[in-house]
Structure 1
Amino acid sequence: EIISKKNSCNDNKEEKIKEESDKIVNSVDELEEQLESVLKNIVNKYKEIKLSGCQFNPYASNPPKAFYDKLDKVMQTATAYNYKDTWKEIEEDITKKVNSRESKYCIRLCESVLNYLPEHMQVILKDEIKRCQEDIDCEIENGSKEVEQMMQKKDIKEINELLERCNLNQEKAIEFGIYKMARDIVLRMESQWDDGQNLAALLSMGELYRFKNIFKKMPEITRYYADSHNYLSNTFDKHHKNIISTFASNWL
């Protein structure tokens, strides 16, 4: 009977120990789940940040460097892989954004982002940004030569083809050149009307009409044509009235 009581007592102790152990395990599991949720939220917060189209550094308010410094201390002592995986995901996301084609043309913004990154990332991305700057300089130089050669040919179909496939730097130069060509036609046509070169003026009007049809997405060209068309209509109305007036005064 005594032995039976001892066994029963031992069983109770084991059950209590097991219960306490289960509670601890459950608590640890809950903490891990909460931690995992927090880390995922942080990762998502950084992933939602976009560099393209930004005028100011979006990482300034939540510097990845500050988060990395805190996480690094934990990674030095913790054996869990969650911390390292979390930072790896954030680092890969930032690196991808800085190296993206959109960010390639935002060198100053990317340089600003560097100041808010951990040192090891600064070293890597600094070289990438420098290489991008060199690529952009080369691209601008080659692009400028291509635009200059195309504008000298004055073939509006080829110019339009270049406009459709050009980069951002070329686009501004091409549009400036197109507007200048159209404006030159308008000035030439006005001079031809004033000098009585009506046929030549009509030919210039046809040339401007072709400009309007090819460069439909450029509103200024449409305005040039509309103004010239109105001028032509007013001129014909004026001549028509003069003819009627002269005829009336001579024959009536």
Structure 2
Amino acid sequence: MNEAPRSTASERPLVLVVDFLRFDSRPPLTRLLAGGNRFELNSVDPVSDLAGGLPVHDLPTLAAQYVGSLAARPQVVVGFCNAVTLAGEIALQLGAEVPCVAVNPTWTTADVVQQEFATLRKAAGGSGSAESAKALPDRQRMAELLTADLMAGLAAAGADPEEAEETVALLLPRQLAWLDFLRWSAEHEQRTAQATTVVSDEPVDRPAWWRGPWAPIEAPPMPADATGCSGFVEQVETAIAAC
């Protein structure tokens, strides 16, 4: 499990950020918030932890693992994108007094998992996604399909078999961890964490299961890199500070 750089002033609010490294070059939200030095930050990266072999098989158990590992109770839990469901579950398990901030939320559905699986197959350079367009296969079959696509793409790029196998061994665990995480999020019974604040740089529809006030805070666009993120980060920081 990862821990973000801590700010030096102990009186700063302790914030737990649930985030993950992107498959592209965009920085995680934790890194952007650390630059402002307004909070004492801890972070968890469920995708990296699952890729590293964390032995859990559903979202509530994953949340409980993180709650049990915390040295101190955070004052706020922040979730980004597809991690908002896990962030909400962590906040609920911590207790009624811990609010949650959902940043650019994506509440994962089975369709999202299907799309991500097809996207990974296409990005690997494989032959196609005919099977992924049907019902999502089981984990073993997904591993077989992704392995075949990666091997085919690497071979087409000129990699020799040994080099291709080494590359697949590096890439596949994270891809499967990502799909596991999305699938568990989609299967999880959605509940609104207490005092949840939504901050987004694009319109967000209110989920059917949402309970309580719905007043998303509009933020400036989040750029593809850390440059020019100040307006977006300031809006997120303001929402955290208001909890």
Please say whether Structure 1 and Structure 2 have the same fold, judged by a TM-score greater than 0.5.
no
What TM-score, normalized by structure 1, do the two folds share? Answer: 0.27
What TM-score, normalized by structure 2, do the two folds share? Answer: 0.28
Higher relative contact order (CA 8 A, sep 6+): 2
Q: Higher Cα Rg: structure 1 or 2?
A: 1
Q: Which has the higher helix share?
A: 1
